[in-house]
A and B are shown apart, each in its own frame.
Chain A
């Protein structure tokens, strides 16, 4: 998806059409003329025709505009910031989150918290992870700061639920292991910039 239209902030130079509106009648004679004009000018019938035409278009020419949400959904921008997803590593299926706590630290509404522990493989394991969506303002800082591209914003914008907790636990946000092949890389906040390679200095390697 091209973002050109969003980048053009040169408001005011586009070709706007200025409507040539009639002036309000000032004298009785003018008013009378207006009434007569409006009475015999088929303005009202134009209105009727437009609505009728649209009905024909909608019914018979496939121009029905309705998107049958929630059965149909419109695509959203990759930069959209909805409920977070926690991604997994494609190769191993392990989750990417290493429990570094940067998202917890940077979160400006202080809604992320996690519990970590030393696991049997001598690694840092995230034992609990939760986002308080009652406080989250979907600013995207957590995704931006994440060094592992583990926490990203997903496209789940339907945030009505019986319980807020339905979204906020680690397992709910994590890519289901059986849908690993459907996992998509996130292109929004925090994603690697296209010119990332240029900004990295090479380090000698002894192997």
Chain B
């Protein structure tokens, strides 16, 4: 069983470069596909919640809509505006996608397994570093460069506004993410995702100890991934499309993939850190549990989008600095006090 493999991590075979490369390619391929599939899921879920049918003409239940969109994105003309900074404009989407996938390198995705016959061991985490959480958060924070540079490079007023919003929103909520996750880190005493998982194997899920941290992390996660109700970066009613205004075709698609990869990352972090990770639960095996948890996180983001309205930029800032950040600090202090005592 997968979980037993994790439990006996020390007895694992050596992680070779081939395994890591295979893992990286797997993550890229699967997450990119899931990200794409996520768009289909999002459209379906939103449609159902509005009593619509959503995409349903391409393939059975509209499943091939994803392929159709892909073909469309790939074949669309790649427009680079005349007065854009062409180099930065071109790499900005790559930064977004790349940082999103790099972050996934330190996150456990799928259990470990060994490819038969050639005997190559593929680890669950491509890079099992002991500062995994820090790395992921840092990488997601670096993802800020994508929207920021994209908006500034395109020579478009809406893009500039989008960039500005990126800067303030991402930087502000970085604080909340960090502080909110600090309390569980203090409890576990490690930055490794594996240790978090192990910490919750026998006891309650961390969310039971740290409900406030969980809520704060979720809220900050919405902001970090640019999801409703905090999708101010590209809020079309205000700034056309914000930092992606001038993008088209696959470059635009890369932003999209990045966003969905980030959603998955947040889902993974939330699941592993707060929701018991990939431990077995009752009769459900660990791998099912983790997939279910990630899926629920994903669904929750869509659900929220269907139900709740946007906030204004000033409300966003007010919420961050006047409510969430003090709460997070208080939570850390209280957690510290409890641990000390």
Interface residues of A (CB under 8 A from B): 35, 44, 47-48, 50-52, 54-55, 57-59, 63-66, 68
Partner of A54, one of B51, B53, B304, B323: B51
Given contacts A35-B323, A66-B53, contact A55 B48 (CB under 8 A): yes
Cβ contacts under 8 Å, B76 to chain A: none
Q: Which chain A residue shows the least CB distance to B48?
A: A55
**A17: min CB distance to chain B, Å:** 22
> Is the pair A54, B50 in contact by a Cβ cutoff of 8 Å?
yes
Q: Interface majority SS on B: helix, strand, loop or mixed?
A: helix
CB of B49 within 8 Å of the partner chain: yes
| Contact yes or no, B307 A59, CB < 8 A | no
A143 to chain B, nearest CB (A): 36
Q: Complex: how many Å from CA A57 to CA B303?
A: 15
Complex Cα spacing A55 to B48, Å? 5
Do A51 and B306 touch across chains, with their CB atoms under 8 A apart?
yes
Select from chain A the residue with minimum beta-carbon distance to B52: A66
B98 contact set on A, CB distance < 8 A: none
Known contacts A35-B323, A55-B45: A66-B307 contact under CB 8 Å = no
Q: Are A51 and B52 in contact (CB under 8 A)?
A: no
**Residue of chain A at shortest CB distance from B45:** A55
Report the Cα distance A47→B228, complex, angstroms: 14
Q: Can you show 14 pairs from A to B with CB atoms below 8 A apart? A: A44-B307, A51-B49, A51-B303, A51-B307, A52-B303, A55-B45, A55-B49, A58-B49, A64-B51, A64-B52, A65-B52, A66-B51, A66-B52, A68-B53
Task: Name the distance in Å between A25's Cβ and chain B's nearest Cβ.
Answer: 13
Query: Residue on B with the closest CB to A44?
Result: B308
Q: Tell whether A58 pairs with B308 under 8 Å between CB atoms, given A35-B323, A51-B303, A52-B303.
A: no
Give the docked Cα–Cα distance between A68 and B53 (Å): 9
| 8 Å CB contact of A52 from B49, B50, B51, B323 | B49
Question: Is A59 a contact partner of B52 (Cβ separation < 8 A)?
Answer: no
A65 to chain B, nearest CB (A): 4
- Give the chain B neighbours of A68 by CB distance below 8 A: 53
Q: In this complex, what residue of A is CB-closest to B56? A: A68
Nearest Cβ on chain A to B296's Cβ, whole angstroms: 13
Q: How far, in whole Å, are A149 and B137 apart by their CA atoms in the complex?
A: 75
**CA gap between A24 and B307 in the complex, in Å:** 23
Closest to B300 in A: A48
Number of A-B residue pairs with CB-CB distance less than 8 Å in the complex they form: 40
- Measured CB to CB, the nearest residue on chain A to B308 is A47
A66: B residues at CB distance < 8 A: 51-53
Q: How far is the CB of A109 from chain B (nearest CB, A)?
A: 37
Across the A-B interface, give the 4 residue pairs with the lowest CB-CB distance, nearest first.
A47-B307, A65-B51, A58-B51, A51-B49
Closest to B319 in A: A35
**Among the listed A35, A44, A58, which residue makes an inter-chain contact with B48, where contact means beta carbons less than 8 Å apart?**
A58
Rounded to whole angstroms, the CA-CA distance of A36 and B299 in the bound complex is 27
Q: Which residue of A lies closest to B305 (CB)?
A: A51
Measured between beta carbons, the chain A residues less than 8 angstroms from B45 are 55
Q: Are A48 and B307 in contact (CB under 8 A)?
A: yes
Q: How far is the CB of A58 from chain B (nearest CB, A)?
A: 4
Query: Are B51 and A50 interface neighbours, CB within 8 A?
Result: no
Question: CB-nearest residue of chain A relative to B54?
Answer: A66
Taking the nearest CB of chain A, how far is it from the CB of B114, in angstroms?
41
A48 cross-chain contacts in B, Cβ below 8 A: 303-304, 307-308
Q: How long is the Cα–Cα vector from A54 to B306 in the complex, in angstroms?
A: 11
A196 to B306, CA, bound (A): 55
Min CB distance, A21 to chain B, in Å?
16
Q: B306 to nearest A CB, angstroms?
A: 5
CA distance A54 to B52 in the complex (A): 10
Q: Which residues of B contact A65 (CB under 8 A)?
A: 50-52
Tell me if A50 and B307 are in contact (CB < 8 A). Answer: yes
By the criterion CB–CB under 8 Å, are A63 and B307 in contact?
no
Contact A64 B53 (CB under 8 A): yes
- Closest chain-B Cβ to A39's Cβ sits at a distance in Å of 9
Tell me the chain B residues, 246-272 only, with Cβ under 8 Å from chain A. Answer: none
Shortest distance from the beta carbon of B212 to any chain A beta carbon, whole Å: 12
Complex: A57 Cα to B52 Cα, angstroms? 11
| CA A59 to CA B304, docked complex, whole Å | 19
Q: A51-B303, A52-B303, A68-B53 are in contact. Are A59 and B48 (CB under 8 A)?
A: yes
B48 surroundings in chain A (CB, below 8 A): 54-55, 58-59
A27 to chain B, nearest CB (A): 16
CB distance from A60 to the nearest CB of B (A): 10
Apart from the given pairs A48-B304, A54-B48, 19 other A-B contacts in the complex at a CB distance below 8 Å? A35-B323, A44-B307, A47-B307, A47-B308, A48-B303, A51-B49, A51-B306, A51-B307, A52-B49, A52-B303, A55-B45, A55-B48, A57-B51, A58-B49, A58-B52, A64-B52, A65-B50, A65-B51, A68-B53
